[in-house]
Amino acid sequence: MYQLSGFSPLAGAQTTGSAPQFLIEMDSIDAKIQRTWANAMAEMDAAMNANMVMNLDSLMAHPVHYIPDVASKFNKGIKAASAAFMAPWNNAATKAQLIESLLRKPGTKDQFMLQVPQDRKVYIRVQSAINAFISTWQEAQNPLSILEKEMLLSPDADSSSEKTEILVSSWQASVQWLRDLRVKVTICMRPNVASTKKTEALEDIEKIMSSFIDSWKKAKGSVNDIQPFIYKVAEVKPSGSSVPNSDMPIFMPSMEGATDEFTKAWGIASSDFPDMDKVLSTIKFPDIEEPEMIDFATQEAVAKFMGSWNSALAKANTVQSGLIRLENNGRVSVKIPDQVDLSTSIQEAIDDFTDAWKRAKVSIVIFQQLFPNFSKNTATSLMHHWDDAAQSLSVIQRSLTISNSPEYGTSERRKASRQVAKAIYAFIESWTSATEKAREIHPQVYKLVGMKPSAVPVGIAPVFMPSKDSSSEFQAIWKFMVAEFDGFDKMMDEISIPKVSVATAPPKIFSLIDEDLSVQKAVTGLMASWNIASQSLDQIRKSCLISEKEKSFAIPSDKTERNTLLGAINTLMAAYDTAIRKVYQFETVILDLSEEEDGVKELKRNLAEYLYSWNTAAKRIQIVREYLTINPFLCKRCLDMKVIPEFFAACHEASLRVPKIETAFYALSGATSLDTCAACLTATSVSVTPNTKVAKKKYVAEFNKSMAQIPKTKVTTVLPVPSKFSRHVQSYSFSIRSFSSSTQTSNRLFAPVRDLPIYVEGSV
């Protein structure tokens, strides 16, 4: 360390004990470095002085210098943040439970209504609990952001940072649902409101509460996962108290042995909320029932459906990767394979896909009636789209036979080739819809057999496999079933085959939307921002990549390379900032669309997950920028092994959702009337006139201008995703394992017209 810094150790200095100290000969360094050293020492002294802290904000304001394997004496702010998070979480958990107990219909598990004759009292208590719940979220946001950074920089955090991201979005979504609930409850209690509106409001309460409980379950599950780590960084132990008959995680820290910082912060934070024991005594907790295990035949049907879906997913990937090509001009096209073996493998994949569909069709009938009503409808829609996909593949199979057979004439073979192009587009449309529906019922399928969803993420394709908590009986059924499909590993290999993503049609309602110029410019600006961010991402990858195979990264040590990396990071941060500002300008256009319209619900979900994934990436790369500019004390090993891989994984998640949202953006930006998009397989009915040519040229110029302006923007903070999107997030993963297991092509760009590329140059 002395050699690297160019300093000399203080002459005659002795180091005693097991903790070595750095004692510098000050005469050997210039005045500027002396001031730097003095400032660093003063900062450490301030962080060590707990007596200077007067309130909770100042307690949490201490700078974080995470030093692995060393007592966290520098991290006093972390201890304060832990206390400042624990107290509002406890209050939120109790308020959520109180709201459930007040609105739950007696004797039921999932039905909610305002109880009679205590409406007025219930109304007052529900409104009060909702207001308190929303307040707790506001109290918890700052300490949560501090804890999240600690998790990012700790090698002991495992998946805690990912769980914290899920907690944030789930808690935020819960707040949104309760705001809606507050409106509906108010309508029910107003005497001058028509009875029909009151009836509608009562029906809405059940739907809202169902959505709230789903979001809050995710939040509680996340807290259960991160609770041990929070106790660890706070350096306190749980008191051993627990909430009887409840899955509600709460924090009850033991003050014995707690540090002064935690004790002070806990005293301040908990004083703002009622006494926990008193609150818990007022809440009626429902009895926790042991889940009923379904019979063997039903378990077998679930396993067969799961295996059939995985097999179909693998075979669909084989077909798409075999027929879709990326041309040198950057456009996608359908190419009929001229090699016999490739054509044969596609034909066999279609046979296997059809066989999987037939098995699933038989299996799902056995257990579909066990789903909640909304999931029953989703399952029916899934099988409908799967059926359409199978029919399209049947057309492809017949047409491939004709196009590759010398027995048919040239005109017949050309006609068959056109049929393949048309059918593969129809297949992708149907299969994309089926995949979206499968994502929706994914948790319900696991719930039937008493399992938590096991994440084996490959992009956004829902893959089914038993989790560790599955019963031995189901494991045995699954093992036997997988053997029928040539093994799980083989299916996963096929699912992971790189493929060119194709744009699918936007929801039909977009044909009726005629947005003003400001919305068109905002949407265009977001697309341009993402494209610039993707180019910067490619540069960051080149700067940090050590091994493509092992997905290993490291911040370069060379000064020139670091400057290049920093420039790319600044550009990416500016692009993200610009994009979020644009989203605020058009969010209502999409969020106000009725989810009764086909494809709208899926669009909202994919857009929300796209934005949250990008936000996750921005928060991580901001820490790398902090290390490169103002805080070299951060743990570089943690940055290399955890923060940077998670950054790339989050970018990957966002990139995979671009094909899911792009055509809706093209429609909103006005590009659909100018040209066919570069990733579209079928041409749109655009009349080519002198006016459209001029308009297209102007559009491309504006698009490129928007991209060119972004690097000039300077930003220092990471803007949050508009909160209304939180309720539409279902799942997104940025764990290192999910990124390492995926080989799907990333760096997907928005290309609203054919003159623009759909991938970053050199990334495919």
Say which residue the tokens 């108010």 belong to.
186
Query: Residue by residue, what is the 3-state secondary structure of 263-279?
Result: HHHHHHHHHCCCCHHHH
Higher pLDDT, 208 or 372: 208
Say which residue the tokens 């079928």 belong to.
682
Q: Examine the pLDDT at 243 and tell me if it is beyond 70.
A: no
pLDDT per residue as tens digits for the range 483-505: 877 777 788 888 877 788 888 88
Q: What are phi and psi of 326, to 5 degrees?
A: -105, 115
Tokens of 173: 């979504």
In Å, how far are 102, 209, 281, 282, 750 from 278, measured between CA atoms?
Answer: 17, 25, 5, 7, 55
pLDDT above 70: percentage of residues in the chain = 82
Say which residue the tokens 């037939």 belong to.
358
Q: Examine the pLDDT at 542 and tell me if it is beyond 60.
A: yes
Res 334: pLDDT: 87
Mean pLDDT of the chain: 82
**Which residues have CB under 8 Å from 706's CB, separation 6+?**
524, 525, 528, 529
pLDDT per residue as tens digits for the range 273-295: 666 666 566 555 555 455 566 88
Say which residue the tokens 């107003």 belong to.
190
Q: Examine the pLDDT at 341 and tell me if it is beyond 70.
A: no
Measured distance CA(156)–CA(159) in Å, rounded = 9
**Which residues have CB under 8 Å from 540's CB, separation 6+?**
565, 568, 569, 572, 621, 647
Most confident of 93-107, 271-285, 562-576, 739-753: 562-576
Q: Which of the four pLDDT bands, split at 50, 70 and 90, describes residue 743? A: very low
pLDDT per residue as tens digits for the range 253-272: 988 888 888 888 888 888 76
Q: Examine the pLDDT at 764 and tell me if it is beyond 70.
A: no
8 A C-beta contact, residue 642 and residue 149: no
Tokens of 593: 């669309």
Tokens of 423: 């059918």
What is the pTM assigned to this prediction? 0.81
Measured distance CA(560)–CA(581) in Å, rounded = 32
Length of the chain: 764
Q: What are phi and psi of 50, to 5 degrees?
A: -75, -25
Q: Examine the pLDDT at 570 and tell me if it is beyond 60.
A: yes
**Which residues have CB under 8 Å from 222's CB, separation 6+?**
163, 164, 166, 167, 170
Q: Examine the pLDDT at 448 and tell me if it is beyond 80.
A: yes
Measured distance CA(616)–CA(609) in Å, rounded = 10
How many CB atoms neighbour CB 104 within 10 A? 18
8 A C-beta contact, residue 85 and residue 94: no
Q: What are phi and psi of 73, to 5 degrees?
A: -70, -20
Local structure of 285: helix, strand or coil: coil
Measured distance CA(47)–CA(36) in Å, rounded = 17
Q: Which of the four pLDDT bands, split at 50, 70 and 90, describes residue 109? A: low
Res 573: pLDDT: 96
Q: Examine the pLDDT at 59 and tell me if it is beyond 90.
A: no
Measured distance CA(587)–CA(665) in Å, rounded = 12
Q: Examine the pLDDT at 317 and tell me if it is beyond 60.
A: yes
Res 107: pLDDT: 63
Tokens of 458: 């490959």
Q: What are phi and psi of 332, to 5 degrees?
A: -95, 150
Local structure of 562: helix, strand or coil: helix
Res 451: pLDDT: 80
8 A C-beta contact, residue 726 and residue 172: yes
| DSSP letters for 118-176 | -HHHHHHHHHHHHHHHHHHHHHHHHHHHHHHHHHHT-TT-TTHHHHHHHHHHHHHHHHH
Say which residue the tokens 């509106």 belong to.
197
Partners of 94 in the β-ladder: none
Most confident of 245-249, 376-380, 565-569, 595-599: 565-569
Which has the closest alpha carbon to 533: 746, 326, 732, 700?
A: 746
In Å, how far are 206, 551, 655, 737, 738 from 649, measured between CA atoms?
Answer: 37, 10, 10, 9, 7
Please report, as a single letter, which amino acid is at residue 353. Answer: F
Res 110: pLDDT: 59
Q: Which DSSP letter does residue 641 get?
A: I
Task: Report the Cα 269 to chain-centroid distance in Å.
Answer: 30
Measured distance CA(190)–CA(185) in Å, rounded = 9
Res 747: pLDDT: 80
Res 74: pLDDT: 47
Res 241: pLDDT: 55
8 A C-beta contact, residue 679 and residue 432: no
In Å, how far are 172, 302, 373, 606, 612 from 728, measured between CA atoms?
Answer: 11, 27, 19, 8, 11
Partners of 333 in the β-ladder: 325
Higher pLDDT, 588 or 247: 588
Measured distance CA(321)–CA(764) in Å, rounded = 14
Please report, as a single letter, which amino acid is at residue 79. Answer: K
Q: What are phi and psi of 324, to 5 degrees?
A: -100, 130
Domain residue ranges of the chain, discontinuous segments joined by +: 2-48, 76-281, 296-495, 514-731
Query: Which of 28-37, 466-475, 718-727 is least confident?
Result: 28-37
